[in-house]
Amino acid sequence: MLLVVAFIVSFFFAMNIGASGAAAAMGVAYGSGAIRRRSTALLLCGLGVFLGSLGGGEVVKTIGSGIIPSSILTIKIVVIILTAATISLFAANIMGIPLSTSEITVGSVVGVGIAYQTVYFHKLLFIVSIWIIIPIIAFAFTFFVGKWFLSLKRKYPQLEQGRWGKTFVTLLIVTGFFEAFSAGMNNVANAVGPLVGAGLISVSHGTIFGGIFVALGAILLGRRVLETNGKKITNFSPFEGSAISGTGATLVILSSIFGLPVPLTQITTSAIIGIGTAKNGFYIWQKRIVIQLLKVWFVSPIFSLVISYSLVKLLLDSDLYTIIAIFSVCLATLGIISLKKTIAEEQRSLHESGGGI
């Protein structure tokens, strides 16, 4: 029975991965108008992500045994890891936020490793450093490409019209599909890696079945994240969209070849912000959606880590004292946030009524 639960949670997680990460891959093509129908963008995304998943074996091995020893991955532990990651991702999908599935999966795995005091910290630190470096590269590259293209358009105002305009639209659709392919290659490991690490399924079968469910998630559940990445951050032309998708796909595929789980949505969104900054200046950083994305990226791996650690202590170790301590910290944190908001509102009220200094 527990084995069936492990596979159900894994494939449900895979569908949420499709909704969050994979759907974001086609958000650029959809947002720029190269693909006008949302259903068409999601179908292309589903096909690309499935084909890419067939080449994601190296990342599957990293998730399964590269962060914590595979010897501690029992069926119960696999269910805990996947449940913690699924809760985090499902909450983000409800809000329409393109969350990094790699970050929450690694966070869940690390939470279990901390509970058993066995984590390959040298590998973990390398992965986290890549999470920081690659989005910066994506932002910098698209920022300079955006500046170059703006100067080029000033010299040739008709550049995006006629034959060249159609060429850029075609290029954008191709690079969007290429990015969906990279999503499958990297992100399917997040759903099936724990199963493979526990010896419950082979790498080849894991990538196939995981790819199917990630593709279904992109097609059936990816509407909100597609809208977020495509329409709510900034507007861009087909050429700019091609630079965004091409940059994200190249960085993710290179990472996948070396078995590194990387945050595709974080890379893509960083590239989008890079283009937006090149066009509109750093004003784009004031947009609430960008601030919200940055906060979620920071919180998501910690959130899934705490959930997986707590589930181990509660369900396997029956350590109620640790659970009470964690619950108390969470309450204290929420209380501090609430108190800070209350103080800020009172100060604003005093200032508006003339009672402030």
Cα–Cα distance for residue pair 340/346, rounded to 1 Å: 10
For the stretch 182-227, pLDDT in tens is 988 998 888 899 999 888 999 999 999 999 999 998 888 887 777 7
Which pLDDT value is given to residue 285? 61
In this prediction, residue 212 carries a pLDDT of 93
The single-letter DSSP state of residue 315 is I
Contacts of residue 209, Cβ cutoff 8 Å, sequence gap at least 6? 11, 192, 201
CA-to-CA distance for 49 and 285, rounded, in angstroms?
Answer: 30
More reliable by pLDDT, 25 or 39: 39
**How confident is the model over 232-245, as a mean pLDDT?**
75
* pLDDT higher than 80, residue 253: yes
Cβ 186 vs Cβ 60: under 8 Å: no
Q: What is the pTM of this model?
A: 0.82
pLDDT score of 23: 64
Mean per-residue pLDDT of the chain: 83
Structure confidence at residue 296 (pLDDT) = 66
Nearest to 264 by CA among 100, 114, 109: 100
User: Which residues, 6 or more positions from 288, have their beta carbon under 8 angstroms from its beta carbon?
Assistant: none
Stated length of the chain = 357
CA-based angle 285:235:226, to the nearest 5?
95
User: CB neighbours (10 Å) of residue 266?
Assistant: 27
3-state helix, strand, coil in the chain (%, to 5): 85, 0, 15
| Whether the predicted pLDDT of 28 surpasses 80 | no
318 or 60: which leads in pLDDT: 60
Rounded to the nearest 5 degrees, what angle is found at the Cα of 204, between the Cα atoms of 198 and 206?
50
Q: What is the pLDDT of residues 296-307, one digit of tens each?
A: 677 778 888 888
Distances from the Cα of 149 to the Cα of 46, 100, 159, 233, 271, angstroms: 31, 29, 10, 20, 15
**Sign of the alpha-carbon torsion through 347, 352, 353, 357:** positive
pLDDT band at 252 (very low <50, low <70, confident <90, very high): very high
Query: In what helix (H) or strand (E) does residue 117 lie, and over which residues does it extend?
Result: none
Band (pLDDT 50/70/90 cuts) for residue 139 is: very high
- Distance between start and end Cα atoms, the chain: 66
CB 62 within 8 A of CB 256: no
Percent of the chain surpassing pLDDT 70: 86
Task: Give the rounded percent of residues in the chain with a pLDDT score beyond 90.
Answer: 25
